[in-house]
């Protein structure tokens, strides 16, 4: 178990720069370009609010499926430890061993996380209390909506360890980006390369759009910039 904050690699780009300029599709394209092709979460992982953008550093939690709670045991112990140790710009990422059976995230965790400056939350399990979460404007990306408490169904067994969330590898400190198109996780080993490519590609896409809007043929614009 660890509750250390996710520092992430040194980068010339701030989270604010990334949020303001990039989007999940361009990051996915640039991950592909770097040969890292399995870092986009599947389409079933959706935002509660498609207007929201989530950018931050992963704090990982590995859930084990359970069927009871022993007397005298606090089943939320590690959930509480994770939320209470969150630093600004971090994102709790929950990997649930049986995602459809548990809704580990709700209004209380959202409130505590938002107060600590968390950038959002990501899970392959379900979320509940969606009306108050939407009202507070806290970005949550989830694998479904259900009323199911995690108590007696799932329990965090480890924090800040490598996990797979909806089949995608996530490590402590990885860059997580979510928007209306979905979620991508950028591994720290390729982060600088991916971000350099992404910021450059966005510049090219702006020029591509400008030329298309003035009526240039798509074939000519593609030949000019190589972007589609």
Q: Which residue has the higher pLDDT, 92 or 215?
A: 92
Count of other CB atoms within 10 angstroms of residue 133: 24
pLDDT of residue 6: 59
* Position 8 confidence tier, pLDDT thresholds 50, 70, 90: low
Quick check: helix, strand or coil at residue 171?
coil
Which backbone phi and psi does 176 adopt, to 5 degrees?
A: -115, 130
pLDDT-derived band at 7, boundaries 50, 70, 90: low
Does the domain at residues 15-25+38-186 carry the CATH identifier 3.30.160.20?
Answer: no
Q: Phi and psi at residue 173, in whole multiples of 5°?
A: 95, -5
Look over the chain and give the mean of its residue pLDDT values, rounded to a whole number: 92
Q: How confident is the model at residue 225 (pLDDT cuts 50, 70, 90)?
A: low
Name the DSSP letter for residue 226.
-
Spell out the residues 6+ positions from residue 43 whose beta carbon is closer than 8 angstroms to its own.
182
DSSP state at residue 41:
P
Question: Can you read off the two tokens belonging to residue 226?
Answer: 């190589």
User: Cα–Cα distances in Å, from 39 out to 4, 114, 162?
Assistant: 24, 26, 14
Tokens of 65: 């499926």
Question: How buried is 161 (Cβ within 10 angstroms: 0-12 exposed, 13-18 middle, 19+ buried)?
Answer: middle
Indicate the pTM of the whole model. 0.90
Of 25-29, 128-132, 172-176, 217-221, the one with minimum mean pLDDT is 217-221
What string of DSSP letters covers 55-117?
EEEEEEEEEEE-S---TT--TTHHHHHHHHT--TTEEEEEE-SSGGG---B-HHHHHHHHHTT
| Residue that has been written with the tokens 């990997």 in this structure | 95
Query: In the beta sheet, which residues pair with residue 159?
Result: 61
Confidence of residue 212 (pLDDT cuts 50, 70, 90): confident
Dump pLDDT digits (tens) for 134-144: 999 999 999 99
What percentage of the chain carries pLDDT values higher than 90?
A: 82
Per-residue pLDDT at 209 exceeds 80? no
Q: How confident is the model at residue 203 (pLDDT cuts 50, 70, 90)?
A: confident
- Residue in the structure block whose two tokens are 């799932």: 154
pLDDT digits 0-9 by tens, 34-71:
999 999 999 999 999 999 999 999 999 999 999 999 99
| Dihedral in degrees, nearest 10, Cα atoms 140, 56, 186, 109 | -40
**pLDDT tens sequence across 87-140:** 999 999 999 999 999 999 999 999 999 999 999 999 999 999 999 999 999 999
């Amino acid at each position: 178990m660890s509750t250390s904050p996710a520092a992430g690699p040194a980068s010339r780009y701030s989270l604010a720069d990334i949020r303001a300029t990039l989007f999940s599709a361009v990051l996915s394209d640039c991950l592909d370009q770097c040969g890292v092709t399995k870092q986009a979460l599947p389409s079933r992982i959706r935002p509660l609010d498609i207007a929201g953008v989530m950018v931050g550093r992963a704090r990982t939690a590995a859930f084990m499926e359970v069927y009871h709670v022993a007397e005298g045991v606090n089943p939320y112990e590690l959930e509480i430890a994770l939320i209470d140790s969150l630093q600004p710009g971090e994102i709790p990422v929950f990997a649930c061993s049986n995602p459809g059976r548990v809704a580990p995230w709700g209004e209380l965790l959202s409130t505590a996380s938002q107060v600590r400056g968390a950038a959002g939350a990501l899970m392959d399990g379900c979320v509940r209390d969606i009306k108050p979460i939407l009202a507070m404007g806290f970005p949550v990306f989830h694998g479904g909506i259900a009323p199911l408490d995690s108590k007696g169904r799932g329990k965090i067994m480890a924090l800040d360890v490598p996990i797979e969330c909806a089949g995608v590898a996530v490590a402590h400190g990885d860059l997580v980006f979510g928007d209306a198109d979905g979620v991508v996780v950028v591994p720290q080993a390729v982060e600088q390369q991916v971000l350099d490519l992404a910021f450059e590609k966005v510049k090219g896409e702006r020029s591509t759009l400008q030329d298309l809007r003035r009526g240039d043929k798509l074939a000519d614009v593609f030949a000019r910039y190589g972007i589609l």
